């Protein structure tokens, strides 16, 4: 019988939680094969262990000892510190996958003392429900098998594409940050539904299901979103009235600007020098 794969996480925040939940839901490995550590937040580690059955450690040593694939899931600003701690204890067989926005493969390799087996991944938090859109970019020193391992991890939690690294900041601005734009759309739809007289619960559920159904149509029918939109909007009808209002308000242009500024910010985050003493706690 094949041993179940091991997976180590440095960082125990939102992205780690989404990935852990997704790979376990997919049955990719067993909870005991997943090892997690963070910087200092003991309660957060304990909560992940209690909720998912994964193994939580106060330091990086046991994670690196137990796992051959290590996911670096810390903020870009904390990455240099982490690379400095992980680099000296890496073994040649370790595959390191970074999900950090903007942190290049060259910077990872430098920080890890030239370790060649590196993959950059840009997933999104829909990993949690196994619907991530993930893009991978492999370092020149990663071999086919390394990319296959990364592909297997992220395929367990959604769709995976492999692209040249130059595309990753653009990917971050679109699909890495994209769930937040869509949540804003759902919030706005739900609020508007309430304003036109629907009960809050009904408006919330109609808004989310409408976005879900439209996404499935765009993914599954093979028709482009423009053709689908034109099919809904019959001349003189209610949809056209709504679309015209969005157009007048500059909806599409605002979305374009959002993706552009998020992509730019991703690239800035990756090149910014580490900031000390500016951490914001978000987990209980
Ligand atoms: N959230 C998203 O939607 C998303 C999507 C795609 C990619 N990403 C990328 O995923 C990465 C993580 O994001 P996140 O949202 O999960 O961040 P987060 O919730 O703030 O979690 C960051 C984690 O990093 C840990 N950490 C910081 N310094 C450390 C150190 N020196 N050693 C060990 N652990 C350390 C923190 O531990 P303490 O709490 O103990 O300080 C915390 O558990 C980011 O680089 C982001 O660009 C995020």
What are the pLDDT digits (tens) for 194-213? 999 999 999 999 999 999 99
Q: Given this model, what pLDDT does residue 2 score?
A: 63
- 279 pLDDT band, cuts 50/70/90, is very low
97 closest CA partner among 154, 21, 54: 154
CA distance linking residue 65 with residue 61, whole number of Å = 6
Q: Given this model, what pLDDT does residue 75 score?
A: 94
Q: Does residue 117 sit in helix, strand or coil?
A: coil
Q: Is the CB of 176 under 6 A from ligand 1?
A: yes
Average pLDDT of every residue of the chain: 93
| Residue 187 Cα to ligand 1 middle (Å) | 26
pTM: 0.91
| Residue 192 Cα to ligand 1 middle (Å) | 34
| Residue 47 Cα to ligand 1 middle (Å) | 16
pLDDT at 282 over 50: no
Q: Which of 18, 38, 270, 282 to mutate to test the pocket of ligand 1 (most atoms within 8 A of CB)?
A: 38
- The minimum-distance atom of ligand 1 relative to the CA of 279 is 41
Which uninterrupted H or E stretch holds 134?
strand 132-138
pLDDT tens for 91-129 read: 999 999 999 999 999 999 999 999 999 999 999 999 989
CA distance linking residue 225 with residue 219, whole number of Å = 9
Identify the structural domains of the chain with CATH numbers, from first to last: 7-164 (3.40.50.720), 178-249 (1.10.3730.10)
Q: Which residues contact 9 (CB under 8 A, 6 or more apart)?
A: 16, 19, 20, 34, 35, 36, 37, 63, 70, 71, 73
Sheet holding 118-122, edge to edge: 55-57, 34-37, 7-10, 69-72, 95-98, 118-122, 132-138, 158-162
What is each CA distance from 14 to 232, 259, 281, in whole angstroms? 37, 21, 12
CA distance linking residue 171 with residue 136, whole number of Å = 10
CA distance linking residue 83 with residue 72, whole number of Å = 9
138 closest CA partner among 112, 111, 167, 172: 167
CA distance linking residue 197 with residue 147, whole number of Å = 51
CA distance linking residue 261 with residue 264, whole number of Å = 5
- 262 pLDDT band, cuts 50/70/90, is very high
Encoding tokens for residue 259?
A: 């993706």
Question: What is the CB neighbour count within 10 angstroms for residue 228?
Answer: 14
Which residue, judged by its Cα, is nearest atom 39 of ligand 1? 41
| Residue 72 Cα to ligand 1 middle (Å) | 8
Encoding tokens for residue 264?
A: 């730019």
Q: Is the CB of 265 under 6 A from ligand 1?
A: no
Q: Is the CB of 75 under 6 A from ligand 1?
A: yes
| Residue 93 Cα to ligand 1 middle (Å) | 24
Q: Is the CB of 11 under 6 A from ligand 1?
A: yes
């Amino acid at each position: 019988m094949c041993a179940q794969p091991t997976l180590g996480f440095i960082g125990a925040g939102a992205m780690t939680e989404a990935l852990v939940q997704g790979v376990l839901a997919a049955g990719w490995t067993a909870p005991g094969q997943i090892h997690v550590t963070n910087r200092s937040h003991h309660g957060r580690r304990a909560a992940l262990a209690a909720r998912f059955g994964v193994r939580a450690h106060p330091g990086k040593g046991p994670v690196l000892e137990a796992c051959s694939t290590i996911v670096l899931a810390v903020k870009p600003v904390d990455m240099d510190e982490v690379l400095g701690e992980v680099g000296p204890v890496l073994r040649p067989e370790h595959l390191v996958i970074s999900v950090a926005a903007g942190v290049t493969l060259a910077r990872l390799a430098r920080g890890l003392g030239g370790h060649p087996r590196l993959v950059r991944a840009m997933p999104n938090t829909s990993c949690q429900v196994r619907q991530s859109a993930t893009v991978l970019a492999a370092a020149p020193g990663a071999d086919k098998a390394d990319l296959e391992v990364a592909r297997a991890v992220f395929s367990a939690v959604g769709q995976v594409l492999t692209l040249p690294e130059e595309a990753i900041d653009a990917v971050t601005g679109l699909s890495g940050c994209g769930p937040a734009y869509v949540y804003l759309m759902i919030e706005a739809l739900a609020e508007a539904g309430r304003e036109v007289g629907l009960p809050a619960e009904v408006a919330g559920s109609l808004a989310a299901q409408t976005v879900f159904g439209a996404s499935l149509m765009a993914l599954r029918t093979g028709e482009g979103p423009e053709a689908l939109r034109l099919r809904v909007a019959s001349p003189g009808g209610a949809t056209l009235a709504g679309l015209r209002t969005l157009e007048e308000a500059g909806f599409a242009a605002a979305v374009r600007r959002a993706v552009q500024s998020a992509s730019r910010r991703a690239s800035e985050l990756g090149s910014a020098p580490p900031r000390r003493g500016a951490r914001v706690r978000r987990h209980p």
